[in-house]
Amino acid sequence: MKYKVLKDFPKSFLWGASTSAYQVEGAWNEDGKGLSVIDKGKRLEGTTDFKLASDHYHHYKEDVSLFAEMGLKAYRFSIAWSRIFPNGTGEINKKGIEFYNNLIDEILKYNIEPIVTMYHFDLPYVLQQKGGWSNRDTVDAFENYGKTLFIHFGDKIKYWLTINEQNMMILYGTAIGTVDPNLKNPQKELYQQNHHMLLAQAKVMKLCHEMCPNARIGPAPNITAVYPESSKPEDVLAAKTWSSIRNWLYLDTAVFGMYNSLAWSYMQEKEYIPTILEGDMEILKAANPDFIAFNYYTTSTVAKSKNDESDINSTGDQHIAVGESGVFRGVSNPNLEKTEFGWEIDPVGFRNTLRELNDRYNLPLMVTENGLGAFDRLEGDDIINDDYRIDYLSKHIEQARLAITDGVNLIGYFPWSAIDLVSTHQGISKRYGFIYVNRDEFDLKDLRRIRKKSFYWYKRVIESNGECLQSKVKEI
Ligand code: BGP
């Protein structure tokens, strides 16, 4: 649609950037932190583990001062559950509370809004050993963890995200490294785990409203618009099926407290229906999220299933539509370029996704991840010319502004990632940050922080409240 004038980003727009504890902190076993499933997980051959990561645990003051120099209005980070409860429940680790109080105070010192993700893939390993999310006790463990966070940090944190990318843990958990390798019937188990996570999420949302009446809380799935490969009605049907399974199963339960009917039929057909106890649906209905946070990297394109193994598009990861025989066929979108990691780049798809969420839920939206992983090169004089990242982000911000003009209630935008950190499964060489961390997969070098070209670019974007972008706004 052609607009004569574009609406501005709101004056209070949360220009931010994101990280997660296990991917940035390091100090994997320091100061009383317990193990998480990530610490016990396998690594891709030739890529680093998370033991040191970006060593943010020891560099956080310098890092936050750089975030402030970049002009961030907000910073999204996660709290490591096993740094607060080394065993998931039971005794609190005081050093863990101390670290996050120091980090939050450092962020607030620069008038940056701290946005906390309560759980970002790193389930305490002791809980995994007790059955993880298959064990309904983990629901209570998460509620207890949430209550502890609200007690210790509730006076400083205004925005809480419950669970990062629950849908990716269910659909692509093996790629991410969150699936218990000992599960007997993984698929069926994962949908029972999902139900327990939904209950846990709903309980902490209700608790947050009771304990921290001035705070706002919401879910944080990975959401993407799903396109049909053609205008063939069967392809359109397949796209709606995948979107229900990938997106609406998670958000209809979080927002409406009900399972999406198409996703439910899929679960019935596959015999994935979880055990739902008396009162569970009432718990889901009592959640009432204040906003929806979501991560966006790309869109999915699917076609009608051919009911054979050729439906499977690739080994896939959380940003590639794999396909499921008898359900949908994962295909590439010939209209989109790909990153060097095979992820399709779709800025207009970002606007599609924003519109779809706004229409479906009519809640404030916060984009908590959007970014380009690339093999950045450190050139002479500490120069990193990540023009490709500037191009990717500027095009997505342009589309965000068009979506705001469309009427979408967008309250924040947080590129992944604030600073280089370790990819879920592709090492630290796959860099996302505005700030380069001088280490390689196995050579830790000096870990010095180096501002990339995109650091200065994003600083200008924030100063101009989104006006000053590299490429002109496309008229669509
Ligand atoms: C999202 C996760 C982030 C981050 C991002 C980039 O799914 O929420 O934690 O990992 O993907 O993907 P990757 O790290 O696999 O390159």
Residue type, 25: E
Q: Is the pLDDT of residue 475 over 60?
A: no
Segment 30-74, tens digit of pLDDT: 999 999 999 998 888 999 999 999 999 999 999 999 999 999 999
Q: What is the pLDDT of residues 4-38, one digit of tens each?
A: 999 999 999 999 999 999 999 999 999 999 999 99
Residue 343 near ligand 1, beta carbon < 6 Å: no
> Is the confidence at residue 318, as pLDDT, over 80?
no
Our answer on whether the CB atom of 122 is closer than 6 Å to any ligand 1 atom is no
Beta strands 328-331 and 226-228, pairing class: unpaired
User: In whole angstroms, what is the distance from residue 418 CA to residue 76 CA?
Assistant: 9
Answer yes or no: is pLDDT of 474 > 80. no
Closest ligand 1 atom to the C-alpha of 425?
A: 15
Please confirm, yes or no, whether 69 is among the known catalytic residues. Answer: no
- The best mutation among 19, 318, 320, 389 to test binding of ligand 1, ranked by most ligand atoms within 8 Å of the C-beta, falls on 318
Enumerate helices (H) and strands (E) in the chain, giving the number of each: 16, 14
Tens of pLDDT along 391-441? 999 999 999 999 999 999 999 999 999 999 999 989 999 999 999 999 999
Q: How far apart are the first and last CA of the chain?
A: 5
Active-site entry in 165, 229, 324, 356: 165
What is the residue-averaged pLDDT of the chain? 95
473, pLDDT greater than 80: no
Domain boundaries, the chain: 14-463
Q: Is the pLDDT of residue 269 over 80?
A: yes
Higher pLDDT, 9 or 472: 9
Which numbered atom of ligand 1 lies nearest the CA of 423?
Answer: 14
The preferred substitution site among 121, 370, 424 for testing ligand 1, maximizing ligand atoms within 8 Å of CB, is: 424
Closest by Cα among 241, 435, 474 to 347: 474
- In this prediction, residue 222 carries a pLDDT of 98
The answer to whether 76 and 120 have CB atoms below 8 angstroms apart is no
Ligand 1 center–CA 295 separation, angstroms: 9
The pLDDT tens digits of the residues spanning 227-241 come to 999 999 999 999 999
State yes or no: is 165 an active-site residue: yes
* Interval between CA 211 and ligand 1 midpoint (Å): 31
Residue 191, phi-psi category: left (phi > 0), alpha (psi -120 to 50), beta (remainder): alpha
Per-residue pLDDT tens digits for 167-185? 999 999 888 888 888 888 8
Q: Measured in angstroms, how far is the CA atom of residue 428 from the centroid of ligand 1?
A: 12
Catalytic one of 143, 189, 369, 398? 369
76 CB under 6 A from ligand 1?
A: no
pLDDT in tens, 105-158: 999 999 999 999 999 999 999 999 999 999 999 999 999 999 999 999 999 999
Whether the per-residue pLDDT at 283 is higher than 80: the answer is yes
pTM over the 0.95 mark: yes
Residue 83 has pLDDT above 50, yes or no: yes
Q: Is the pLDDT of residue 476 over 50?
A: no
222 lines ligand 1 (CB under 6 A): yes
Average pLDDT over residues 461-466: 98
d(CA 416, ligand 1 centre) in Å = 8
Classify domain 14-463 at the CATH superfamily level: Glycosidases (3.20.20.80)
Q: What is the DSSP code (8-state) at residue 136?
A: T
pLDDT in tens, 320-355: 778 888 999 999 999 999 999 999 999 999 999 999
Ligand 1 centroid–CA 423 distance in Å is 6
- The residue assigned the tokens 């997660």 is 20
Contacts of 399 (CB under 8 A, 6+ apart): 347, 348, 350, 351, 354
Q: So what's the pLDDT on residue 316?
A: 67
Give pLDDT, residue 178. 86
Strand, coil or helix: 135: coil
Does ligand 1 lie within 6 Å of residue 369's CB atom? yes
pLDDT at residue 315, as a whole number = 63
Question: Residue 210: which residues within 8 A CB-CB, separation 6 or more?
Answer: none
**Residue 20 beta carbon below 6 angstroms from any ligand 1 atom:** yes
Question: Residue 232 — left, alpha, or beta (φ > 0 → left; ψ -120 to 50 → alpha)?
Answer: beta
Task: Please tell me the residue having the least CA distance from ligand 1 atom 7.
Answer: 318
